[in-house]
Structure 1
Amino acid sequence: MKPMCEKVIPSANCSWRFVKYELANIDFNWHYHPEYEICLTLNSSGLRYVGDNIEEYTGADLVLVGPNMPHTWHTDENSNGTIQTVYVAQIPKLWIEGLIDEHKEFTELKSMLDLSSRGLLFGAECTTRAQELFLAMDNADPFNRYVQLVTLLNVMKADPLVSTLSSSFFTFGHRTDVGIDKLDRVIEYIYNNFERSIYAEELAEIAHMSTNHFHRFFKKRTERTLTTFINQLRIGKACKLLINSNHPIAVISDQCGFNNTSNFNRQFLAIKGSTPSAFRNSIKVKHVLS
C-alpha cells in the first residue's frame, strides 16, 4: 500500500506540533511526513508498523520516527472499554537541525536523529519518563512545553536500551505526493484570506476537486475540519488583538472574520477555554503581578 504524505501544522505559537489523542482504537493510517515524530502510545495493544518492521506491542510504547519514514499503529478497542492515549510531538527537520548547527549544546542529538531514519524504540525506563514529560506538556504554555520537549530529547538520547526498528536497506521511493502541493496552495490561500468569509467551494476550485472530495481531503491531511482550521487561525489573531490593543470585543470579532459576536465568543471559549473578556482580563492581571 502506498503511504500518504501528511501535512503537519505546528501548534499555536509553537515551532513544532504537540497533540494528544484519546481514542477507542487506533485506525490503520499508513503515512509519512518530513518532520521527526516522537510517538508515545499508552493503554493499547496491537501492531506497530515502521518502514519494513511490523511488531506486536502492548502497554506503553515510545518510538522516534525520522523524516519521510512511513509508519502507523493499529489496534482494536480494549476489551474492558478503556480509552487508548497517544501523545505525539512532530518536530520540523529544518528547525531541529538548525538548532544543532547553531548551538553546540544540541550537537549530542545528532547521532540519535540520524539513526531515527530507521525508527527507534526506547526502553521501559525512558518510556516512563517520557510519559511524565508528555503529561506536563499537556497543560504547559508554549515556552514550558518547549522546555519539556528538550528535556525529553535529552532523556531519549541517553537511553542505553534504544533499538532500531526498520532494516538498514529499507528505502521509500514514493516521497512525492501531488496532494501535498494542492494542500500547500489551499493553506496559503486561507492564511491570506481568513479575515473574511471563506467558502469551501472556492478552496475546492483551487485544489481542482469537488467540494465533497475537498472536505474529505482536507480533514484527512490536516486531521481537522476546514471550519476548525479557519477558526483556530481567527482565534489566534484575536488573542494577539486582545493582548496588544484596546479595541472592543465586537470590533475584534469583525476584524477576525466572525459573522457575529456571539459566534466569536462561542468559538473562543471552545478553543481557549475562556471568554475573550476573561482572556483579556487574565493578561492584564499577569502584567500587574509581573
Structure 2
Amino acid sequence: MKPLLFKIAKTNEEAVRILQEDYPYFYDKLHYHVETQIMVIVEGEGTYFIGDAIGNFKAGDVFVLGPNLPHFFRSAQQYYDAQSTLHSRNISVLFALESMGERMLELSEFHSVRKLLERSKRGLKLEGGIRKKMFDAAYKMAEKDGLQRIIYLFKQLHRLSISDELTPLSHINFEPGPLPSDTKKINGVIRFIMENFSRDISVSDAANVANLSINAFCRYFKMHTRKTFSQFLNQIRIGQACKLLIEEGHSVKEVAFQCGYYNISYFNRQFKQITSLTPSQYAKAHRTRHNQAI
C-alpha cells in the first residue's frame, strides 16, 4: 500500500538537523520525508493527521514521526485570518541514523533504539513526564552542533526507548512510494474539508474539487488517507467537537451545529463511536481531570 504523497528534499549534510519555525500557521500539506522527526509544538493549536490517525494538538505536545510516515499539522482556523497576530512555532529534530552507518543499528547496544524507531513508523505522541523532558531537550539540542548534538540525540533516543509514556497513533505502518503529481489534488481536497467541515458537505462536493467522478474519488481518497470520505470528515468534526466541549459556555447542541451536525442523535452516535464516550460524558471527564490537576 503506497501513500501517494510528496517527499521533502534533504537540505544539507548535517546528521542531525534542527528546524525552528515561527509562522502564522503550520505547514499544512500532507507530506512525508525519509528522516525521523521529533516534532515539538512550542506555540499554536489545531488538527494533526498522522498515518491514519486524526486528533488535536496544542502547545507543549511532542510527537515522534518515523520515516515515510504521511502527516500534516493544520493550525486552527483563526490562525488563517488575515488580521490574526497569532503565531505557530515548533522545533523539529530530523535525523536518519542509517546515514551514520548501515550496520550501526544492528549493534546490540542499539537494540532498544531500533525498536523505538520501528514503533515510530506509526507515529508516537509523548505523554506525562517524558513529554516535558523532551520538550526541554529540544531547546538544548538546538544549542549544540556537530558531534555534541549527535551525542545528545542518542541520549534522548535512549530515554525515549525505555519510556512507557509513548502512545502509538496510526494503526498501520506506511511504505514509501509517492507520486508527486498527486500532491496538489489530495491537498486541495483536504483543504476543502478542513475549511468547510462545519457546513453540510457531501462526497459529491469533494469529488468536484478533485475533478473526479464519485466512484473514482472514493477509491482515490481511500488510497491516500486509508479512510473513506465520511470517516475522515466525521473524525475531523468530532475532533473539533472535543475541543469545543472542553471550553466553557458550549452546550452539546451548540457544539453539534458548529461542527456540521444538524441531527443531535447522529452526532451523539458518531461521537461515541469515535471517542467511546457521549459528548456529555466527555465534557464531564475533562472537568474531573482538570479539577484533579488543580
Instruction: Please give the TM-score of this superposition, normalised by the length of structure 2.
Output: 0.53
Equivalent position SS for 2:114: helix
Q: Which has the higher contact order (CA 8 A, sep 6+)?
A: 2
Q: Distance in 2 between matches of 1:67 and 1:83?
A: 27
Alignment of 1:156-167 (within 5 A): 156-167=160-171
Alignment of 1:1-290 (within 5 A): 2-10=4-12, 14-76=14-76, 77=79, 81-92=85-96, 94-95=98-99, 98-101=103-106, 103-168=107-172, 171=174, 174-175=177-178, 177=180
Q: Distance in 1 between matches of 2:12 and 2:110?
A: 21
Q: CA RMSD in A?
A: 2.7
Equivalent position SS for 1:20: strand
Equivalent position SS for 1:8: coil
Report how far residue 140 of structure 1 moved.
1.6
Letter in 1 for 2:55: E
Segments of 5+ residues of structure 1 without an aligned counterpart are 180-290
Q: Distance in 2 between matches of 1:131 and 1:48?
A: 18
Letter in 2 for 1:85: R
For residues 149-197 of structure 1, the C-alpha deviation after alignment (integer angstroms, 9 at most, x for no partner) is 11221221122121111113x6457435589xxxxxxxxxxxxxxxxxx
Q: Distance in 1 between matches of 2:44 and 2:35?
A: 25
Equivalent position SS for 2:10: coil
Instruction: Please give the TM-score of this superposition, normalised by the length of structure 1.
Output: 0.54
Segments of 5+ residues of structure 2 without an aligned counterpart are 183-294
Equivalent position SS for 1:147: helix
Q: Distance in 2 between matches of 1:67 and 1:93?
A: 11
For residues 219-243 of structure 1, the C-alpha deviation after alignment (integer angstroms, 9 at most, x for no partner) is xxxxxxxxxxxxxxxxxxxxxxxxx
Report how far residue 125 of structure 1 moved.
1.4
Letter in 1 for 2:127: G
Aligned length: 175
Report how far residue 43 of structure 1 moved.
2.0
For residues 51-110 of structure 1, the C-alpha deviation after alignment (integer angstroms, 9 at most, x for no partner) is 111101222121111111101111143999453321111212523664222x43222111
Q: Distance in 1 between matches of 2:175 and 2:93?
A: 22
Q: Distance in 2 between matches of 1:154 and 1:114?
A: 14
Equivalent position SS for 2:140: helix
Q: Distance in 1 between matches of 2:31 and 2:73?
A: 10
Equivalent position SS for 1:114: helix
For residues 20-49 of structure 1, the C-alpha deviation after alignment (integer angstroms, 9 at most, x for no partner) is 112222131211112211111122210111
Equivalent position SS for 1:159: coil
Q: Distance in 2 between matches of 1:47 and 1:7?
A: 24
Equivalent position SS for 2:149: helix
The 1:90–1:178 alpha-carbon spacing in structure 2 relative to 1, beyond 3 Å, is farther
The 1:130–1:67 alpha-carbon spacing in structure 2 relative to 1, beyond 3 Å, is same
